[in-house]
Amino acid sequence: MTFVHPPHHSLCLRQFRVLGAVVFLVVFVLVPSSKAQRIFFETFDSLPLGAPVRETEPGGLVWTDIAPPDWTLDDSQVPGIGTDKFGMPEWAGWSFANKDWWIRSSGDQKRSEFRHGQGTILISDSDEWEDGPHPVGLLNQFITTPEIPLGTASSNTLLLVMDSSWRPEAFDDGLPGFPVDADGFPTNNQTAVLWASYNGGDPVQIMKFSSDPDSPDFHADGRFINEILSLPLRNPADATRLQLRFGFLTAANDWWWALDNITIGFPPFASAITNNGSSLGIRISEGLGKGIDTAKPIRVRINDQRDIPIARSRRGSSLWITHNRFPEVFPPRSNYVAFVEFATLDGRVIEEPLPFTTPGYVSVFSTPSTVLAVITETSWMKIDESKEVTLVLNGRPIQPRSLNRSGGSILADYRRSQPFFSGSSHRLRVRFFTTSGQLMEENLVFTVQEFPTLPPELATSIGSGTDPGMRWRTHQLIEPRGGTVVEAENQLTGALGVSIHNPSGQTDDGSFIVPSVNFDQTGSPAGHFRATAQGPLEQPDRPVPGIPGTVREGILSNDYFATECLTYVEFPAAGVYWMGVHCDDGFELVAGGEPGGPSIDLGSFNGERSAADSLFYLRIIKPGVYPFRLLWYETTGASSIEWFTLDLEGNRALVGGSQPDSLRAYISRVFRTGLHAFELTPDGQITVTFTGRLSVSDSLKGPFVPVEGAVSPTLIDPRGRRMFFRADADP
């Protein structure tokens, strides 16, 4: 929220409850003894957040790349921007995200140490950005504030205070993903720069952080993850307008710079407000020789209420004011304004408003078929389990399938008989009681992740699959290559060299026939399906076909292979299917992908990782047999892969496996319409068996023209066009 305090006035809010809604009446009251100290205040908490684009960590409405009004984002120097491969979309450019979700989605890695940041924060995170495919290049991204009016400010009287989290890294990421110098050394040096521009003039550097230990601007790892920056702006005497520009530069697979509570003013001024639902913290910043007269009273009120009890403590150049309202709890996700009044050392009385939004106590997680509401207890709020927990979904009461305690949380689990639509948004109201007798009602909006619907024209009829199994192709290199999907694709074409895999057991077309995908490079137990597992998961891992390969003079190698699995999967019923790939390193799974046909991306991991799950959904509206292609690759170290489906309980079954719920997989399939048959050959051509005269058209509606010289059976190459066939009686 950008909040500019009206000079010589204070802002009062009166709250009325009308038919269950909260209405705020804004009243300006003349306070002659007060003078505006803070001229700019942005917490980002008023930004409307949406669902993430590609990050899989659930959390509802937690992210946006839409800046506050009049702020300007510049992502023109993000590698690959404007294409479909520009890194992870959430982090390609400065982004705004709920701090707790950012921590969870990234695996923390010390992000939780940014304790000053709260709610929605401003983030540039090259570590997360690099998780998506992008061309060679370093990350450069910028964001600029609106022009801030300064009035008649005297020179060198303005102070910028903001909460900052900086974790650096440099000179460790080179080819193939990032540029190198003439000697082949990496050039990445994660850098943060802040410029100020007055009256539209040339920008002046105010601050610089470098990741280079030899730089005078070096800010070391671990020392600045939770910092209050207090920066003199050195404003000229004739400056009437100010604009700030933040840059995050020359980063590769490095770390982050995150900001919150960006405040500009004439010190002393209120520069931050924190709240956890039961207590408030207000920070008053001093500087430039200006301070607070702590011998005078300091008062705080919320909205139009009377003064509330407070305590004070000093931390460096900041005075912290705290208020505790235990056992009472603020209503969840409610908007308030706290007013803090204090005296300066030069005898002025200042009253400054601080808008804040109370936190929520309920989180909602969804899949296309489930809704999970999690009510989290704290040291100051306990849930009364003797009282009913009620849920209302889209205006209708729902009955949770289960209501369980897990640690300090109550979990309400609801299962839908009909899946949500892809990308649809929904409203959930949760009501519960605290042990102090307070009724809590929280309204949440969540968005179901987007998932594809497979085009019905990809399918042949149920029962059209022939020859159970899958075609598997392995290609192995002597020389190292990078761990990306693009490089694995190039390897499979032979562009990176001749394969040195072991061809023993291949068919004439160069593929291995396998029943399902459950491999470890040495055949050792790995993943979910393994010889040491229990029940349906007790499935021994098989060695990767063709691995190890012979390298030189009998030396064996398990590394730098790329594989392709082609199969036809039968879906017995319409519905939403939950599918997953567990692998080390990367993969890409598509439906379709046949010559001349569409390719539907289902899931991928582009990079190197230890064995982990990637889970995704797809919708089937026409039961039948569909083509699939699974790409998988390995660099070095351990390597394994499993391809499976999951039911609503999370039980796994291999695609083509022996589990009761396994989807059937076939090497080929046959098209049948009456007496006419169409069979796909391994190289993507079609064998057409017919009686009478064969005709073809680009449209189902025609016109159909005879296929000259066609004698049953005939071979058709469909690549590059969409074809409809018809067999007519001979003329």
- 545 and 686 in a single domain? The answer is no
pLDDT tens column, 248-293: 999 999 999 999 999 999 999 999 999 989 999 999 999 999 999 9
Which range, 154-158, 711-715, 724-728, has the best average confidence (pLDDT)? Answer: 154-158
Tell me if 53 is assigned to some domain. no
Q: Distance between CA 404 and CA 372 in Å, rounded?
A: 11
Q: Distance between CA 87 and CA 84 in Å, rounded?
A: 9
**CATH number for the domain harbouring residue 194:** 2.60.120.260
**CATH number for the domain harbouring residue 520:** 2.60.120
Nearest to 443 by CA among 453, 429, 455, 457: 429
Nearest to 230 by CA among 285, 161, 166: 161
With beta carbons less than 8 A apart as the criterion, state whether 521 and 634 touch.
yes
What's the whole-number mean pLDDT along residues 234-246?
A: 96
- 108 and 232 in a single domain? The answer is yes
What's the whole-number mean pLDDT along residues 325-340?
A: 93
Tell me if 2 is assigned to some domain. no
Percentage, residues of the chain above pLDDT 90? 72
With beta carbons less than 8 A apart as the criterion, state whether 55 and 127 touch.
no
With beta carbons less than 8 A apart as the criterion, state whether 502 and 554 touch.
no
Both tokens assigned to 104: 């969870």
- 661 and 695 in a single domain? The answer is no
Q: Distance between CA 51 and CA 473 in Å, rounded?
A: 38
CA distances from 545 to 180, 508, 515, 609 (A): 36, 15, 12, 21
- 196 and 274 in a single domain? The answer is no
Q: Distance between CA 271 and CA 263 in Å, rounded?
A: 6
Please state, rounded to an integer, the average pLDDT across all residues of the chain.
89
| 615 Rama sector, left if φ>0, alpha if ψ -120 to 50, beta otherwise | beta
With beta carbons less than 8 A apart as the criterion, state whether 123 and 96 touch.
yes
pLDDT tens column, 529-555: 999 999 999 999 999 999 998 776 666
Q: Distance between CA 352 and CA 341 in Å, rounded?
A: 7
Burial class from Cβ neighbours inside 10 Å (0-12, 13-18, 19+) for residue 709 reads exposed
- 173 and 120 in a single domain? The answer is yes
Q: Which of 313, 336, 357 is at the close of a domain?
A: 357
Element (DSSP H or E) covering residue 99: helix 99-106
State residue 337's pLDDT score: 94
**CATH number for the domain harbouring residue 417:** 2.60.40
Instruction: Give the model's confidence band at 19: pLDDT under 50 very low, under 70 low, under 90 confident, else very high.
Output: very low
- 697 and 548 in a single domain? The answer is no
* 617: number of Cβ within 10 Å: 21
Q: What are phi and psi of 295, to 5 degrees?
A: -75, -15
Nearest to 120 by CA among 193, 48, 224, 228: 48
Q: Which of 236, 265, 294 is at the close of a domain?
A: 265
- 479 and 628 in a single domain? The answer is yes
Q: Distance between CA 379 and CA 386 in Å, rounded?
A: 19
Q: Distance between CA 94 and CA 113 in Å, rounded?
A: 20
Tell me if 132 is assigned to some domain. yes
pTM of full prediction above 0.75: no
Percentage, residues of the chain above pLDDT 70? 91
Tell me if 386 is assigned to some domain. yes
Q: What are phi and psi of 652, to 5 degrees?
A: -100, 150
- 464 and 601 in a single domain? The answer is yes
- 253 and 136 in a single domain? The answer is yes
- 350 and 212 in a single domain? The answer is no
Tell me if 49 is assigned to some domain. no
Q: Which residues pair with 640 in a beta bridge?
A: 520, 584
Beta carbons within 8 Å of 524's beta carbon, 6+ residues apart = 541
Q: Which of 47-61, 102-116, 288-302, 437-451 has the lowest mean pLDDT?
A: 47-61
Provide the strand spans (E) within 210-278. Answer: 227-232, 241-251, 256-265, 269-275
Q: Which domain holds residue 708?
A: 674-728
CA distances from 251 to 106, 121, 236, 521, 662 (A): 17, 20, 33, 34, 44
Q: Please report where in the chains the tokens 């351990």 appear, as a residue.
A: 638
- 141 and 130 in a single domain? The answer is yes
Q: Please report where in the chains the tokens 């770390």 appear, as a residue.
A: 255
Both tokens assigned to 594: 């046949």
Both tokens assigned to 607: 């990079």
Q: Distance between CA 510 and CA 495 in Å, rounded?
A: 17
Q: Which of 83-87, 236-240, 374-378 has the lowest mean pLDDT?
A: 83-87
Q: Distance between CA 536 and CA 658 in Å, rounded?
A: 8
Q: Distance between CA 362 and CA 644 in Å, rounded?
A: 32
> Which three-class secondary structure state does DSSP give residue 263?
strand
Both tokens assigned to 286: 């001093």
Question: Could you give the number of structural domains in the chain?
Answer: 5
Tell me if 569 is assigned to some domain. yes
- DSSP codes joined into one string, 372-399: EEEEEPBTTB-B-TTSPPEEEETTEEE-
Q: Which of 238, 265, 292 is at the close of a domain?
A: 265
Q: Between vectors from CA 309 to CA 307 and to CA 313, what angle results, nearest 5°? A: 120
Tell me if 47 is assigned to some domain. no
- 212 and 306 in a single domain? The answer is no
Tell me if 54 is assigned to some domain. no
With beta carbons less than 8 A apart as the criterion, state whether 243 and 99 touch.
no
* 717: number of Cβ within 10 Å: 14
